[in-house]
């Protein structure tokens, strides 16, 4: 058996892909009240660190430094990026984030009907549902349709929010943050390529807009 060293991400583009990975992982465990906050924390930290890697690479050329000075000033006035950085700073330097979630059942297709406008509904004299959280942190839902209907396990719809009264969900904030940083990394990579830098992986090397994780999926 032979061990081989695997290098950690060393470019802004690679660090961006790390943030995108944590975004996907976060969505995959959205019904788990233990794991979702872990991946959110990792996402916020890795998204913030993309700019650290840009700053390091920008020292390699005067034109890169000038571009970065201008870009950094714009980022400091960007309300979304300031918001996400604030959440990251609180989580790392002060205390774990206090986030909120709402949940409900995913209605089985066999019960769902559509009206003439295509709106979905369930027709029944009684609908009951309940939820528990198992030892692994997974939200488990059961549902009973009709007074005499069986109680059955169903999927869970979950929405996480940074603030209790904020209609915009955590996933939406994070996706928009990814999109904003993606644009900055693309612009940086294009400038490096113009100046003759040969980055590995080849510039731009990011998940371009259009291949970002599916929003809120």
Say yes or no to pLDDT of 142 above 70.
yes
Say yes or no to pLDDT of 101 above 60.
yes
Determine contact, residues 142/151, Cβ cutoff 8 Å: yes
SS (H, E, C) 149-184: CCEEEECEEEEEECCCCCCCCHHHHHHHHHHHHHHH
Are 85 and 115 found together in one domain? no
Are 35 and 82 found together in one domain? yes
- Residue 161 lies inside a defined structural domain of this protein: no
In the beta sheet, which residues pair with residue 142? 130, 153
Q: pLDDT tens for residues 119-139?
A: 877 888 888 889 999 999 999
- Residue 201 lies inside a defined structural domain of this protein: no
- Residue 213 lies inside a defined structural domain of this protein: no
- Residue 211 lies inside a defined structural domain of this protein: no
Are 113 and 49 found together in one domain? no
Are 91 and 114 found together in one domain? no
In the numeric block, which tokens belong to residue 94?
């002060």
Average pLDDT over the chain reads: 86
Identify the domain containing residue 149 by its residue range: 107-154
- Residue 33 lies inside a defined structural domain of this protein: yes
Q: Can you give the pLDDT at residue 195? A: 93
Are 149 and 175 found together in one domain? no
What separation in angstroms does the CA of 133 have from each of 8, 100, 136, 137? 36, 15, 8, 6
- DSSP letter at 9 equals P
Provide the pLDDT confidence category of residue 161 given band limits of 50, 70 and 90: very high
Number of C-alpha atoms within 13 angstroms, CB side, residue 82?
8
Q: pLDDT tens for residues 25-69?
A: 999 999 999 999 999 999 999 999 999 999 999 999 999 999 999
What's the burial of 36, exposed, middle or buried (CB within 10 Å: 0-12/13-18/19+)?
buried
Are 132 and 42 found together in one domain? no
Question: Domain tally for the chain?
Answer: 2
Are 16 and 47 found together in one domain? yes
Tell me the whole-structure pTM to 2 decimals. 0.82
- Residue 124 lies inside a defined structural domain of this protein: yes
Are 133 and 49 found together in one domain? no
In the numeric block, which tokens belong to residue 39?
């991946």
- Residue 141 lies inside a defined structural domain of this protein: yes
What mean pLDDT is predicted for residues 1-18? 76
Q: DSSP characters for 66-96?
A: HHHHHHHHHHHT-HHHHHHHHHHHIIIII--
- Residue 18 lies inside a defined structural domain of this protein: yes
What mean pLDDT is predicted for residues 175-204? 84
Any residues with CB less than 8 A from the CB of 207 and at least 6 apart, and which? 16, 17, 20, 182, 213
Distance CA 71, CA 80 (A): 15
């Amino acid at each position: 058996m032979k061990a081989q060293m695997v290098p950690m991400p060393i470019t802004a583009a690679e660090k961006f892909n790390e943030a995108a990975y944590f975004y996907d992982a976060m969505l995959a465990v959205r019904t788990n009240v233990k794991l979702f906050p872990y991946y959110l924390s990792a996402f916020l930290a890795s998204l913030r660190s993309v700019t650290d890697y840009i700053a390091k690479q920008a020292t390699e050329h005067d034109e890169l430094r000038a571009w970065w000075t201008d870009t950094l000033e714009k980022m400091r006035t960007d309300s979304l990026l300031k918001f996400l950085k604030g959440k990251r700073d609180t989580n790392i330097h002060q205390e774990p984030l206090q986030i909120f979630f709402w949940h409900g059942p995913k209605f089985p297709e066999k019960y769902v009907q559509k009206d003439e406008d295509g709106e979905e509904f369930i027709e029944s004299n009684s609908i009951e549902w309940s939820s528990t959280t198992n030892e692994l942190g997974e939200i488990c839902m059961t549902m009973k349709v009709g007074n005499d209907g069986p109680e059955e396990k169903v999927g869970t719809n979950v929405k996480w929010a940074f603030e209790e009264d904020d209609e915009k969900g955590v996933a939406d904030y994070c996706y928009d943050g990814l999109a904003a940083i993606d644009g900055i990394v693309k612009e940086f990579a294009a400038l490096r390529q113009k100046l003759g830098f040969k980055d590995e992986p080849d510039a731009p090397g990011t998940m371009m807009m259009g291949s970002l994780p599916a929003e809120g999926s």
